[in-house]
Structure 1
Amino acid sequence: MRKLRGAWVGIEQGNEDLFSEFESGGDMWTGSGERERRRWVAFSERFASPPNVQVALSLWDIDNGGNIRADLGAENVSEAGFDMVFRTWSDTRVARVRLSWMAIGEVRGEDDWLIG
């Protein structure tokens, strides 16, 4: 469990269209094997320490001719942002993906002093 000190907790959320490869014939749609897409998401304000970030599918357009395989998450989380990551493999064909995210963490308060 992560415990936050004080009452200064920030929550930020958003949606990102990660890719759309049906029309362009990109390898998420036409390829096979291991494939990955990632995008850096910058927070509107810095957190005081790296926040907890949750990522979820909000739209996926996947071919029904094969197994549906997806691995998604947040990597390289920092006070400034994180990498949103979607992976698939084998014969899964993905036309497009939109991911939603939420970051919860400690933020600096008006009375916090930065000494350094």
Structure 2
Amino acid sequence: MKRLATHRIGIDQGDNVLFSDYEDGGEMWTGEGPRERRKPVRFSDTFRSVPAVHCALSMWDVDHAHNVRADVSAENVTETGFDLVFRTWGDTRVARARVGWMAIGEVADDDDWDLY
């Protein structure tokens, strides 16, 4: 569990389109087997330590004739950002996907005295 000083809690959030493969026949729409799409995300301000990041699908458009499989995660999380990752596999066909995220962690305070 992360314990945060109450006056130093920072929350950043966003909603990012990861891909739209339907128009150009991209691999998420036409491919099979394991597929992955990554998008680097930068926080609007720097956290003092690595924040907790939550990701969730906010929109996806999938082919109803195939099984629907998806894995959404935040990887390589640092104080300045992370990689938003969408994975699928098998015969799943995804036309487009948008992922919402929220980062919660400690931020600098005006009263901090960083001497070293």
- TM-score, scaled relative to structure 1: 0.97
The alignment partner of 1:29 has SS state of helix
What CA distance in whole angstroms lies between the structure 1 residues aligned with 2:56 and 2:106? 22
Q: CA deviation at 1:70?
A: 0.2
1:113 maps onto 2:101 in alignment: no
Q: CA deviation at 1:6?
A: 4.4
Q: CA deviation at 1:113?
A: 2.2
What CA distance in whole angstroms lies between the structure 1 residues aligned with 2:115 and 2:96? 46
1:98 maps onto 2:98 in alignment: yes
1:64 maps onto 2:45 in alignment: no
| Partner in structure 1 of residue 20 of structure 2 | 20
Aligned-residue CA RMSD in angstroms?
A: 0.8
Q: Unaligned regions of 5+ residues in structure 1, if any?
A: none
AA paired with 1:41? V
State, as a whole percentage, how many aligned pairs show the same letter: 59
AA paired with 1:45? D
The alignment partner of 2:28 has SS state of helix
Q: Unaligned regions of 5+ residues in structure 2, if any?
A: none
- TM-score, scaled relative to structure 2: 0.97
What CA distance in whole angstroms lies between the structure 2 residues aligned with 1:106 and 1:61? 35
| Partner in structure 1 of residue 89 of structure 2 | 89
| Partner in structure 2 of residue 74 of structure 1 | 74
- For residues 37-94 of structure 1, the C-alpha deviation after alignment (integer angstroms, 9 at most, x for no partner) is 0101000100000100000000000001111000001000000000000000000000
What CA distance in whole angstroms lies between the structure 1 residues aligned with 2:113 and 2:77? 24
Q: CA deviation at 1:17?
A: 0.5
1:52 maps onto 2:52 in alignment: yes
The alignment partner of 1:12 has SS state of strand
| Partner in structure 2 of residue 9 of structure 1 | 9
The alignment partner of 2:41 has SS state of strand
AA paired with 1:101? W
